[in-house]
A and B are shown apart, each in its own frame.
Chain A
Amino acid sequence: MKLKFSSLEIDGELLPHEKNEIDQFKELSTYIYEAINEADYIDLEIDDNVINIFSFLTTKLIEGLTDNIYASIFENKGAKYLSGDISLVISEALTYATLHSLYKVSLKNIIPFRSVKYLGTIVDAMIDLNKEEELKRRLGVNGGFLFINIRASMTPRSYYIVDKLARSLMNLEIVRYPRYYGLISIIVKDNETIKENFIFIK
């Protein structure tokens, strides 16, 4: 399937951690959201079968992943609601499949933690960078962990995405700060395509 992809990097130092700083996650998220909107998107094509196989890493048991993706994109939903469970699974599978096709991340090197996210101290997934040459090169680092948070919306609204971004950043900092790296993957429906954004935090 075809999707639009763009990525950007932000410095982890920008985020407030100290008592003498103010909680500016919301403001930062607004800036990130503006940057995402004006970013240049590249066309990315991912093999449908590859997306299907990543269903073994997703949190919920949903069959017919690609059918669901096309149903969501082309809005042949009638009067029904789009399910949040489905967009969750779509976003997870697309994020992992993108990591695989762009940065050659091995599927056995992704540990999905979403099913234990109730702990409150962990993010959606983790990759050990020491085994991933291509991703290390993209980030310009020598090793460590990459913590991933995944967000999706099939009916995107600006305030909703800004909200989710702020929450994701905060979640990510709990486990990332200060030595490791973070990635927020945002997947939204845009007309009849899917837009995917990778926000790397270094």
Chain B
Amino acid sequence: MTDCEKISLALLYSWLGDSKEAQEISKDCIESLRDSVFEIRKKVKDIKSKVDEEYLLPKALREEGVESEDLVRLALYELSRRIYNFSGVSEVEEYKGIKYVIIKSGYKSVIKGFCEKCKGYNIKKLSNGYLMQLEGIIYGEILGSITKEDVMKLLEDLR
């Protein structure tokens, strides 16, 4: 499962819109699991058709050698496949190691970002919105529009 440890990062990048990074991580995960997943899937299907009652399924699975880890592998594979297939073509801006994107939705601008080195919790309140950072994940909503330069200034304070 070592190649899938970064799966939460892939989720983060896909939330942010950095499809390239998200696809790279999820591809590694898919490839590391591909061989084992088909066997697990087949086993689960067979066992499911054998048991008469649903409450007997957990024990039946374990007895046939399908462990919790195997089921997690199956889910990780499926999740990475979804991330890989559904990542769009969008790209993100970068400023001093912070990846960010500004989404303009008419009356409001949403800022999403990710900074690998940031830690803890930090919030910057403005008269027309806020920008916050939690464990490196950046999110902010600002009424009206905002320029790239202003966002960069705000990001500087969040570090």
Please report A residues at the B interface, Cβ cutoff 8 Å.
15-19, 23, 25, 49-50, 52-53, 55-57, 63, 106-113, 115-116, 119-122, 126, 145, 147, 170, 173-180
Q: CA A112 – CA B136 in complex, angstroms?
A: 19
Closest to B130 in A: A49
Interface residues on B, range: 35 or more
Q: Smallest Cβ distance from A127 to chain B, in angstroms? A: 11
Cβ contact within 8 Å between B8 and A174: no
Docked complex: B33-73 residues within 8 A CB-CB of A: 44, 48, 53-59, 61-62, 68, 71-72
Is B78 an interface residue when CB atoms closer than 8 A count as contact?
yes
Nearest CB of chain A from residue B33's CB, rounded to whole Å: 13
Of the candidate stretches B9-17, B93-101, B149-157, the one touching chain A is: B9-17
B75 CB, min distance to chain A CBs, angstroms: 4
Contacts of A116 in B (CB 8 A): 75, 78-79, 82
Write the nearest CB–CB distance from A133 to chain B, whole angstroms: 16
Which residues of chain B come closer than 8 Å to A147, judged between CB atoms? 68
Nearest chain A residue, comparing its CB with the CB of B57: A174
Q: How far is the CA of A111 from the CA of B5 in the complex (A)?
A: 10
